[in-house]
Amino acid sequence: MLAIIGGTGFSSLAVTDGGMETTAFGDVYMETGELHETPVVFVPRHGNPPRYPPHKINYRAIIQALFDAGVDGIIAVNTVGSVDETLSVPGLVIPDQIIDYTWGRQQTFHDDQIVHVDLTHPYDPVLRTLLCDAAAGYPTRTDGVYGCTQGPRLETAAEIRRLRKDGCHIVGMTAMPEAGLARERGIPYAAICVVINAGAGIKNRIIDMDETRRSLDTGMGWVRDVLIRVVQST
C-alpha cells in the first residue's frame, strides 16, 4: 500500500479512518482512506490540526508509523521556493538529490549503535519514474536538487544565492531527515514538490504572500491529479 506524507496545502484525502498511532519514537496522526478508489495511508506531517513547524516535526515517529503499517512506498508532497530562476511559479519539481542544511534534528533511528545507510540516491528511481510520467502535461522539472533548510523562517537573498552556488534548484524545509529515515527503514521514497514562490531576491522580486497562496492552491490541484495517475498505474 502506498503512503503519502503531506505538508502545507495538502492536508487530507478521502478519509475512512484517522487517529493517533503510537510508536517507539512518539505518537503520530495517521489516516487511511482512498485515492481514486485505491487504498492509501496519509500522514499530515505538520499534525492534525497543523501545529508543528518544520524543525519540530517528529520525523522518526512518522516514518516508524508507516513502517509499522507495512507500506511499500512513500510519496512526499512538499511546498518549495525556487532557487533556479527558470522554474515556473507555480510549477512542479520531482527532485533526484538533496543537500541538507538542517541542524539539531533527530537524523537516525540508531542512537545507540553506529549504522551508516547509503543515501547516494535519496529518492527511489521507480517511484520517481511513476511521478515523472504522471506529471506529463504540467509545468514540471523531472530532476533537481532540493536544498533543505532549517526553517521556520524563509531564507535571505544571500542564502538563496549560496544555495544556487551549491547547485540547488529548489528550497524547502522538510525533505530531511524524512528521506534518510525512510532509507533506514527500507521504504522506497520519492517526492513531488510544488514551487509556490521565487526565492528571496530572485529577479529583485519581493515574496508576495497572496500570490504564494494562489500558487499553492493551483499546484496542489495538479499534485492530486498526479497522485491519482500514479495509483492508477500501480
Please name every residue paired with 193 in a beta bridge, in sequence order, or none if there are none.
78, 93
Q: Note the residue count of the chain.
A: 234
Q: Residue 10: its pLDDT value, please?
A: 61
Report the distance separating Cα 141 and Cα 68, nearest Å.
Answer: 33
The answer to whether 84 touches 188, Cβ cutoff 8 Å, is no
Q: Residue 17: its pLDDT value, please?
A: 74
Report the distance separating Cα 161 and Cα 2, nearest Å.
Answer: 36
Q: Residue 13: its pLDDT value, please?
A: 59
Name residues of the chain where pLDDT drops below 50. Answer: none
Q: What is the largest CA-CA distance in the chain?
A: 48
Q: Residue 203: its pLDDT value, please?
A: 72
Grid coordinates belonging to 170: 529548489
Q: Residue 101: its pLDDT value, please?
A: 98
Report the distance separating Cα 196 and Cα 25, nearest Å.
Answer: 32
Please, what sign has the CA dihedral across residues 177, 183, 179, 166?
A: positive
Q: Residue 12: its pLDDT value, please?
A: 55
Q: Residue 16: its pLDDT value, please?
A: 63
Q: Residue 213: its pLDDT value, please?
A: 85
Tell me the backbone φ, ψ of residue 73, rounded to 5 degrees: -175, 150
Report the distance separating Cα 116 and Cα 183, nearest Å.
Answer: 10
Q: Residue 212: its pLDDT value, please?
A: 81
Q: Residue 230: its pLDDT value, please?
A: 95
Global pTM value: 0.93
Residue 166: count other Cβ atoms within 10 Å of its Cβ.
12
